[in-house]
Amino acid sequence: MSKFIFIILLCLPTFVNSNGHWSYKNKNDWQQNAHYCGGNLQSPIDLWFNRSRHDQRLKPLHLVEKPSHSEVIIQNNGHSVQLNLKDRYILKKIAPLSEDYNVEQAHFHWGHSYDNRTGSEHFLDGQSYPLEMHMVTYSSLFANIGEAASNTRALAVVGILFELSDEPNQFLQPIIDALQDIPYQNGQSTIKNFNLLSLFDEKRMHRYYRYDGSLTTPACFESVIWNVLQEPLPISYDQLRAFQSLYDEHRQPLINTYRKIQPMGTRKLFRSFHAHHIHDNELKARISTTENHAQRTFFNMKIILVLATFSMMKF
């Protein structure tokens, strides 16, 4: 009986994120069974530096580890790879005077072995990345994640992008080693010597984008405070290939496990950092190009307006 209860608790986040049977192969049909998936606050989005605004109220996110002697459970749930992190970590400083958020789980999104440029759900200034990790938390004002899931801003998710590197990420390797034990749906194993704090590198949690959005899988509840870290983590080709080598419920390759970019609409995008905090030279160049284009467009519009006004006066 106790083993059955444990399995139910492990699968709880999957139940929270789902609304009946769904698949990444029929993403356009999600809203037929989960109406929130057609809402105006959906995720993911493209995070454009020049369309965001610095908010000095956004402080460094702070992840605190709780005493725990149990091993981390990792599972192939047929849609993704999921880590059970319940009762292990607390996320603090989501907002001034905010309550703590309890970390429930973390999972990954990736693409296809034939294309190592796509796989992430969020983009940075128009660029996708091969892997994205989501750390899912819920407000401590609620008893559990199921109770919190449909309530406004009751969930907070930290998104971490990964970019290809020549060298393997040693802090990610314990997860990679465990993937070989869970090639098929419902396969589960334990992770040894894994430390989420070491993987994140707390300095990276100082710089992030913030917006109000949704879960990126059915039921797509619009209850998420999104915090996407600005600086990607490294992952080697072989490490990425380990994710791309998994299988889904039909024993078909588990690939393209990401949702397409959703409309921003009237939402506002904020960031905790300034341009000089960005270390990626390529990203800096893209931001500068976009900014110059916007300035030229604005200047041209001013010229057109002046000429139009002069023409009307002359007439």
Task: Give the residue numbers annotated as catalytic, written as ranges.
Answer: 79
Among the residues of 145-275, which ranges form H helices? 145-148, 173-179, 196-200, 237-244
User: What whole-number distance in Å separates Cα of residue 32 and Cα of residue 290?
Assistant: 37
Locus of tokens 């209850």: 223
Q: What is the helix, strand, coil percentage profile of the chain, to 5?
A: 30, 25, 45
Locus of tokens 């007439």: 315
**Contact residues for 103 (Cβ-Cβ < 8 A; gap 6+):** 63, 85, 86, 88, 89, 90, 91, 135, 136, 137
User: What whole-number distance in Å separates Cα of residue 203 and Cα of residue 34?
Assistant: 37
206, two tokens: 């100082």
**Contact residues for 286 (Cβ-Cβ < 8 A; gap 6+):** 125, 126, 127
User: What whole-number distance in Å separates Cα of residue 120 and Cα of residue 133?
Assistant: 8
List the helix and strand counts (H, then E) for the chain: 7, 15
From the list 246, 111, 244, 255, the residue with the least C-alpha distance to 181 is: 246
**DSSP E strands, 214-263:** 224-229, 233-236
